[in-house]
A and B are shown apart, each in its own frame.
Chain A
Amino acid sequence: SQTIHQWPATLVQPVGSPLSLECTVEGTSNPNLYWYRQAAGRGLQLLFYSVGIGQISSEVPQNLSASRPQDRQFILSSKKLLLSDSGFYLCAWRANGGGDTQYFGPGTRLTVL
C-alpha cells in the first residue's frame, strides 16, 4: 500500500530564515505530487505540482519554491521566510495517468515569528 510522509511535523522559524520541508511517497512510482497551504481562515491553496523529476509548476507567485530531486521526493523551500508564510503545509500525491483519488500527507505546521 502507498504511504506519504512529511517532516518536520511542526516548525517555528524566525522571519528571514530559510525553509526546507520534505515530502516522500512510498509504494508507487512516478506519482503526481502537490504542495498545498492551508492558512487560518482561508481554504486550501495549491502552491506547486510536479508530474516528474525536475518538473515543477507554480500556481501562485510567492516567496516559496519547490523541487523534485527524486521520483518520490518533493521539497518545499524558501530562502527568506515572511510572516505571511505561516500556515499548515500539506503534500499530496495522485497516481500518474490514471488515478483520480488524491491522497494527503499528515502536514507540517509552520509558524514564522
Chain B
Amino acid sequence: KQEVTQIPAALSVPEGENLVLNCSFTDSAIYNLQWFRQDPGKGLTSLLLIQSSQREQTSGRLNASLDKSSGRSTLYIAASQPGDSATYLCAVRRGKAAGNKLTFGGGTRVLVKP
C-alpha cells in the first residue's frame, strides 16, 4: 500500500528566502506525481505534474524534482513571498487508468513572513 509523507508539517520563513518542501513515497512504481497548493477553506490548485520518466518540472519560481528510485520529490519555491503562504500537498498516482487514485501526503503548511 502506497504511503506518502511530507515533512515538516509546518514551515515558517522570512520573505525572500527559498522554500524547500519534501515529499516521500514508499512504492516507487508510480505513474506521476502532482504538487498542489491549498489556501485555507479553498480547493486544491495544481502547481506542477511530473511524469515518472521525468526528473524535474519548472513553472516560474517553482521547480519540482523527482527521484523515483529513492521515493522522493522536492518542491523548490525561489524568493518566497507572503502570497506563497498556503498548504502544499503532493500526491502520487500508480497508473494511467481512472481507477488508479491519487494518494496524498498530509501537506506542509507554509508561512512566509513579510
Contacts and interface: CB of A to CB of B under 8 A. Distances in A.
Interface of A: 6, 32, 34, 43-44, 46, 49, 51, 57, 59, 88, 90, 92, 94, 96, 100-107, 109
Contact of A94 (B41, B42, B43, B98): B98
16 contacts: A43-B104, A43-B107, A44-B89, A44-B102, A46-B102, A57-B99, A88-B41, A90-B43, A100-B93, A101-B46, A102-B34, A102-B102, A104-B45, A105-B43, A106-B42, A107-B42
Given A44-B89, A100-B51, A101-B49, A107 B102 contact: no
Nearest to B96: A100
A96 B98 contact: yes
A102 B34 CA distance: 8
A90 B44 contact: yes
Contacts of B96: 100
A104 B98 contact: no
Interface of B: 31-32, 34, 36, 41-46, 49, 51, 89, 91, 93, 96, 98-99, 101-102, 104-107
A100 B42 contact: no
Contacts of B43: 6, 90, 104-107
A75 B105 CA distance: 26
B102 to A, nearest CB: 6
Given A44-B89, A44-B102, 4 more contacts: A100-B93, A100-B96, A102-B102, A107-B43
B106 A100 contact: no
A88 B42 CA distance: 9
B66 to A, nearest CB: 14
A100 B98 contact: no
Contacts of B46: 101-104
B105 A43 contact: yes
Nearest to B107: A43
A34 to B, nearest CB: 8
B104 A100 contact: no
Nearest to A55: B98
